[in-house]
Homo-oligomer: A and B are copies of this chain.
Amino acid sequence: MSATLTNTGRVLLGMIAEGHATGYAIKAAIDRSTRLYWGASIGGIYPELRRLEQAELVSSRDDFRGGTRRHAYSLTSAGRAALHGWLADPSEPVLEMRHEGLLRLRFAGVLPIEEQVEVVRRMRTVHERRLSELESRLTTEEFDDPLHRLTFEFSVGWNAWARDWCLSAERSLTRRGPRAAKR
């Protein structure tokens, strides 16, 4: 039974397809790329790899590096099929966001207007920090895969857009003026 492939499992399949063979290497690859829009933490990766192996979507061979035993995973044909099936799946993909900065702004009405602007400013710095980190990586890192680069650029663009939105929100809040307090 192909049964239930978890979302973390799908990332693993994709990463293994790209040639990242060990749990450790996969984790590093996730941190370099999908973490921005789909995270996975090390504590969940190893058990999930074993589950995938049990489901026969991946196979592993022991690969000794000196005395260190590591598991080198590769896709089975069922795994390749599962990956393709997921990519071509016409069902609505998950899209959700947890944006505490926006959430704070949503409730900032209880604060005086100057502090409301501060809330947006702090929201902006989050996006700016992300943006400058990503932009510097864009120049220093190599992007082997064109789709890795493309999705990376999505993150750059979205953070830039959000920063600009914050700037314009700050202006519109300030324009309302420090004395035009919300009731």
Which residues from chain A sit less than 8 Å from chain B, CB to CB? Answer: 7, 10-11, 14, 17-18, 33-34, 36-39, 80, 83-84, 86-88, 90, 92-111, 115-116, 118-119, 122-123, 126-127, 130, 145-148, 150-151, 154, 157-158, 161-162, 165, 169, 172, 182
Select which of B147, B165, B169, B172 is within 8 A of A105 by beta carbon: B147
| Shortest distance between the CB of A27 and any CB in chain B (Å) | 16
Would you call the interface of chain A mostly helix, strand, loop, or mixed?
Answer: helix
Q: B109 and A151: CB pair below 8 A?
A: no
Chain B residue contacts of A14, Cβ below 8 A: 103, 106-107
Give the distance to chain B from A56, nearest Cβ to Cβ, in Å.
19
**B106→A101 contact, CB < 8 A:** no
A127 to chain B, nearest CB (A): 8
A99–B95 touching, CB < 8 Å: yes
Residues of B within 8 A of A118 (CB): 88
